[in-house]
Structure 1
């Protein structure tokens, strides 16, 4: 064998090793292309959609938060870097050379110095090769390109969060891209009338000046319920006007506002992408199922490792270690580990109790794997055995969850699992004497049972009827905080059981059923030896 050929084979082998060391199971470029085509098919003629990447957000001083892509932007592009914008046209456009195109992805430019500090960028060539875009440009070109957004009948964009930071590092940051879009499109927040504002404007326009005092009273009540209306100079000007001439001027301004038309639509993308994202493709289900199974294994390992001397933070750490062991990039949301009364705080994330003792520990956590996040909750006794009171509450919640899962079927309404769970919980609380009647108002079960999961832990959706290949949560709970109006023996007991359910044409599938759910199965799992039992660190005190 010639030396040249041998060298080539060696280099090829080294390249394969390097490739194998990075994740290869992200969504495919074809998936993202298909999603763009589906969205394009929903767009009317002569329209354009503009979707921005997330910006880099500052944590403190010169330290930024770990970057996380905007889910809608990722869904449509697969691009995982900041400072980018997708422009998607309903119809083919023609450039100065006669070439046609219907989409452009503007991305961070390659910058050797920046990449030395913060990692490799795809750049234009990488975007074309890996993400399959025919036209990719540097982000700064979005500013110089002469896109006439005013020529389109409709311009679709999501509502701006306006928390973009201008670091002045370059001219291709999201701050610059959004500013340029607003400038080119004539976007103005004042041109969008909320339902409440539109109602009052209509009232100002149609009410004779002699009855203006009544309108002023309505405005006074409106700003009490909707404080943001206080910022509207027209409304407050009319309310505080001291003479009829001024009131007529504001009346004319209100009429002009109502007649003003903008081609910018803030609702289309939100609605259409919710319709698309609520039903998962087979490619999405593969990643989402893995995220869920990782989270279930995390619950199992904590069940085996749990000891009364542990802190909430240590328990959180075991969960998150399992996630990282499987290659999950992030937690899908801030981890909730609440022992005893802390479990009664629905979104408790301090996790700073130093000993869980013999209390119930509510653990609501989910791994994010390749963008898709699970949402799995288990509640277990720190000492490995449920007390009679803990067991009684737990079994009510479990029965309620089973009832909710049973109606999680294609064709049923989204609210049905919650309705069924509530019936079971109210009857159970009544049987235990915690409430006095089935129609008693109480806060022991203050939330619904279900939401979509996917690229967001609370994934967007229409929340109408269940459809095949939706994935939802079913998560009833009972929370009895200290000081509740019931026997003290129930105080400080908090139980939530949450599983991730795949909607099918037949029976629902519990994707997180791997993690024990019954009292008997949990106690049996907690009696097993953990690989962490012998993991002891030195005392630093």
Structure 2
């Protein structure tokens, strides 16, 4: 009897440890956005839609690169914003008035939020990695209720017949493919059927509502963007120190991507742009195959994505470590435009005011060099053919609004691009493309340049480029 008692005690003590084995290796990172913040966001959505509505959100589809090789999975922005869940084939239902969910054969609960996740599968996980499962989703992400994704149909139908008058659900477009499309069949069928009948349930798209929530960043989001930008700054500095004539553009790209991952970034925010000379004038050039010449200007638009949040930083620097006279002239105009625009940023300022400050400097500068015949009008746009900047966040071109408010982060990225054989332009300016891009946080009192750690002044860049970087060590 004593032996049996000891055995029972040991079993009782070991059960929690056994239950937590499946969670032990799910999260290595310790600086993630907290479950409490994700819950607050879901609660905000439910408050906005009201008790007579429900909302459905779903994960991004997996994308095939070729054969049996997938692209690295990236979660849908809004789904990640509400859940923090990074696995594919997942769905979320928010039902403010509550919905009854059968979580297992013996338990049914009434809940306001249900995350549908891929079931734990040891055989599959041995190949593709550990899954959160229902326990992980509830324990680590703080979701009120999580069930396997095969229960979505049943719960969705229960929601439809719960007396709601509005359903917030994004249409399932043709690019949504694979297993997530199969899981969404009940929603697709409902949407298609609603078009054929006079339904009493109004269908609305929830994206605009969530986008509004994402405009002003929380402190935790700002911390993520600050980290992503700091990582990007270090990478830009290493690239400047490492660049030597004779290197290939792809070597510069490799420096950035290595620096990002070495500092803990999961991915880059967008494909690296590393254009030298004739490629510096292509706004989103990313072939990156040219051998860099000694007098080339190199435009590098590269930034890290950290915990889902993307920065966006650009620096332009001379391959030989010293700007030519013509490169200095163009660079100075762009730098002055950037500084003029940044100085205008603050709470309550229309973005159009910021844009106008840069436009004025560039128009005057191009006119003074004889590149455009007059400074009035929009002639300068021939050589500055993009907008001044954009918000950053979960998307590198994130959601925003026309008037700046504290907690918003915008890029300021004026540029001048003069292709070879530009009519009426002195050939000495040919193939000079300059862009300077910084990430600016709008604060209560004004602004903060999060990317100021990477030099922008000509003298500072030339001084930094005298040093050696991590890219100067030959591979053997």
TM over 0.5: yes
Given the superposition, is the C-alpha separation of residues 391 and 293 from structure 1 closer, same or farther in structure 2, using an over 3 Å criterion? Answer: same
Aligned to 2:227: 290
Shift of 1:93: 3.1
* Equivalent in 324, 336, 345 of residue 282 of structure 2: 345
* Equivalent in 468, 478, 482 of residue 416 of structure 2: 478
2:405 aligned with 1:467:
yes
Shift of 1:180: 2.0
How far apart, CA to CA, are the structure 1 residues paired with 2:356 and 2:132? 48
Given the superposition, is the C-alpha separation of residues 443 and 92 from structure 1 closer, same or farther in structure 2, using an over 3 Å criterion? Answer: same
Aligned to 1:228: none
Query: Deviation per CA, 1:227-253, whole angstroms, max 9, x where unpaired?
Result: xxxxxxxxxxxxxxxxxxxxxxxxxxx
* Equivalent in 145, 149, 155 of residue 160 of structure 2: 149
Shift of 1:187: 5.6
* Equivalent in 120, 129, 134 of residue 110 of structure 1: 120
Query: Deviation per CA, 1:305-343, whole angstroms, max 9, x where unpaired?
Result: 010111110000001111111111000111111111212
How far apart, CA to CA, are the structure 1 residues paired with 2:419 and 2:201? 51
Aligned to 1:305: 242
Shift of 1:84: 0.4
2:119 aligned with 1:81:
no
Aligned to 2:4: none
Shift of 1:164: 2.8
2:166 aligned with 1:134:
no
Please state whether the residue corresponding to 1:301 is helix, strand or coil.
Answer: helix
How far apart, CA to CA, are the structure 2 residues paired with 1:140 and 1:357? 60
Aligned to 1:403: 340
Please state whether the residue corresponding to 2:351 is helix, strand or coil.
Answer: coil
Please state whether the residue corresponding to 2:372 is helix, strand or coil.
Answer: coil
Aligned to 1:164: 176
How far apart, CA to CA, are the structure 1 residues paired with 2:459 and 2:193? 60
How far apart, CA to CA, are the structure 2 residues paired with 1:187 and 1:304? 61
How far apart, CA to CA, are the structure 1 residues paired with 2:142 and 2:56? 19
Which deviates the most, 21-30 or 338-347?
21-30
Aligned to 2:383: 444
Aligned to 1:389: 326
Shift of 1:121: 0.2
Aligned to 1:217: none
How far apart, CA to CA, are the structure 2 residues paired with 1:421 and 1:277? 27
- What runs of 5+ residues in structure 1 fail to find an aligned partner? 167-172, 192-255
Given the superposition, is the C-alpha separation of residues 453 and 431 from structure 1 closer, same or farther in structure 2, using an over 3 Å criterion? Answer: same
Residues 187 and 264, structure 1, Cα contact 8 Å, conserved in 2: no
Aligned to 1:39: 45
Residues 26 and 131, structure 2, Cα contact 8 Å, conserved in 1: no
Shift of 1:40: 1.6
Query: Deviation per CA, 1:360-412, whole angstroms, max 9, x where unpaired?
Result: 10000110111111100000001000001000000000000011111111101
Residues 149 and 184, structure 1, Cα contact 8 Å, conserved in 2: no
Residues 365 and 375, structure 1, Cα contact 8 Å, conserved in 2: yes
Shift of 1:19: 6.4
Shift of 1:261: 8.1
Please state whether the residue corresponding to 1:344 is helix, strand or coil.
Answer: coil
How far apart, CA to CA, are the structure 1 residues paired with 2:437 and 2:173? 31
Aligned to 1:235: none
Shift of 1:415: 2.3
Given the superposition, is the C-alpha separation of residues 19 and 50 from structure 1 closer, same or farther in structure 2, using an over 3 Å criterion? Answer: closer
Shift of 1:416: 2.1
Residues 54 and 159, structure 2, Cα contact 8 Å, conserved in 1: no
Residues 50 and 85, structure 1, Cα contact 8 Å, conserved in 2: yes
Please state whether the residue corresponding to 1:415 is helix, strand or coil.
Answer: helix
Shift of 1:92: 2.6
- What runs of 5+ residues in structure 2 fail to find an aligned partner? 1-9
TM alignment of 1:308-327, pairs within 5 A: 308-327=245-264
Given the superposition, is the C-alpha separation of residues 109 and 308 from structure 1 closer, same or farther in structure 2, using an over 3 Å criterion? Answer: same
Query: Deviation per CA, 1:48-86, whole angstroms, max 9, x where unpaired?
Result: 111100111111011111111111101100101000000
Residues 468 and 504, structure 1, Cα contact 8 Å, conserved in 2: yes
How far apart, CA to CA, are the structure 1 residues paired with 2:25 and 2:160? 41
How far apart, CA to CA, are the structure 1 residues paired with 2:378 and 2:98? 61
Alignment length (residue pairs): 449
Given the superposition, is the C-alpha separation of residues 262 and 344 from structure 1 closer, same or farther in structure 2, using an over 3 Å criterion? Answer: farther
* Equivalent in 517, 535, 538 of residue 456 of structure 2: 517
TM-score normalised by L of structure 2: 0.89
Given the superposition, is the C-alpha separation of residues 19 and 106 from structure 1 closer, same or farther in structure 2, using an over 3 Å criterion? Answer: closer
TM alignment of 1:95-244, pairs within 5 A: 99-145=109-155, 146-149=157-160, 151-166=163-178, 173-186=179-192, 191=195
Residues 228 and 304, structure 2, Cα contact 8 Å, conserved in 1: yes
* Equivalent in 516, 525, 528 of residue 467 of structure 2: 528
Higher relative contact order (CA 8 A, sep 6+): 2
* Equivalent in 60, 64, 75 of residue 70 of structure 2: 64
Given the superposition, is the C-alpha separation of residues 365 and 120 from structure 1 closer, same or farther in structure 2, using an over 3 Å criterion? Answer: same
Shift of 1:155: 1.2
Residues 234 and 259, structure 2, Cα contact 8 Å, conserved in 1: yes
Shift of 1:480: 0.6
How far apart, CA to CA, are the structure 2 residues paired with 1:80 and 1:530? 34
Residues 252 and 274, structure 2, Cα contact 8 Å, conserved in 1: yes
Given the superposition, is the C-alpha separation of residues 153 and 507 from structure 1 closer, same or farther in structure 2, using an over 3 Å criterion? Answer: same
